[in-house]
Amino acid sequence: MVRLSELDTLPLPGRRVPNQELILAREELLAKASGFERIECDFGAAKGKFLSESAVLNPAVFFVGIEGLSVRVSRTNKKKARLGLKNGAVWRGWGKESLDALIPDGFLDTLHVSFPDPWPKHRHWFRRLVNREFLEIAARKLKPLSERISGGVLRLMTDHPGYFIAMKDHLAEQGGWEETSWEDELERPITEFETIFLAKDDPIGRIALKRAKRP
Ligand SMILES: C[S@@+](CC[C@H](N)C(=O)[O-])C[C@H]1O[C@@H](n2cnc3c(N)ncnc32)[C@H](O)[C@@H]1O
């Protein structure tokens, strides 16, 4: 007999991803990522171009991917196995809940959200990933700022000018973020969608943020 309170966490038919499986996958992630200098997450990892190239370029960093489409997840993990990469893995997950379920709090040096679906029509904006609730989870997942470490960084990219403005509005509304330099110490490959937009010469909005120092 299923209690009403459990309904939210059950893999109902038609639900795209049983995110509760990710809570179990967290143990697997912790084991795989153990011993690496830095941990980065690519949310919406697609076919894994950015993740696998990042892993090759930066062997001291572990890259965890979350992607909603299982066919893309298995393709990326197969590619990773073919290349013999030990410093990356992708899990299937959907929405901000999957970030919360898979990633422990204070775990990430960097969270990449590159070209999330823009949902250009006003009536679909509620489906956009980057909103106040997502940012609250993101802030919790990044390494906290301390006297010793500078804290985790959120890197957002979009080709949609309206979405870029909305992202910045949500960041300002939530508060506690400060912009930091886009360039950092790691080699950053181009993402799948970035390749497409760069070829079309489309403008790309990019912003990197860390949690602000308390006054
Ligand atoms: C526009 S593509 C961008 C892919 C990649 N980040 C890049 O820059 O090339 C968005 C990707 O995010 C995935 N996605 C979209 N919404 C998602 C969600 N709510 N949860 C998890 N994945 C999602 C899609 O399946 C797709 O692979």
Give the span between the Cα atoms of 104 and 140, in whole angstroms: 9
CA 198 – CA 200 distance, rounded (Å): 5
pLDDT confidence bin for 1, thresholds 50/70/90: very low
* Fold designation for 15-211: Rossmann fold (3.40.50)
Q: Is this structure's pTM higher than 0.95? A: no
What is the reported pLDDT for 6? 41
Listed by start position, the domains of the chain span 15-211
Residues contacting 156, CB < 8 A, separation 6+: 113, 114, 130, 167, 205, 206, 207, 208, 209
Report the nearest atom of ligand 1 relative to the CA of 67: 22
Does ligand 1 come within 6 angstroms of the Cβ of 68?
yes
Q: Which of 63, 69, 159, 195 to mutate to test ligand 1, by most ligand atoms within 8 A of the CB atom?
A: 69
Distance (Å, rounded) from C-alpha 114 to C-alpha 206? Answer: 9
Burial class (CB in 10 A: 0-12, 13-18, 19+), 18: middle
4 against 137, higher pLDDT: 137
pLDDT digits (tens, 9 = 90+) for 156-170: 999 999 999 999 999
What pLDDT is stored for residue 84 in this prediction?
94
Token reading at 120? 């250009």
Give the pair of three-digit tokens for residue 105.
């709090």
Which tens digits make up the pLDDT trace of 12-41? 444 444 577 888 899 999 999 999 999 999
For the cut 60, the answer to whether the pLDDT of residue 49 exceeds it is yes
The pLDDT confidence band at residue 5, using thresholds 50, 70 and 90, is: very low
Is the pLDDT at 7 greater than 80? The verdict is no
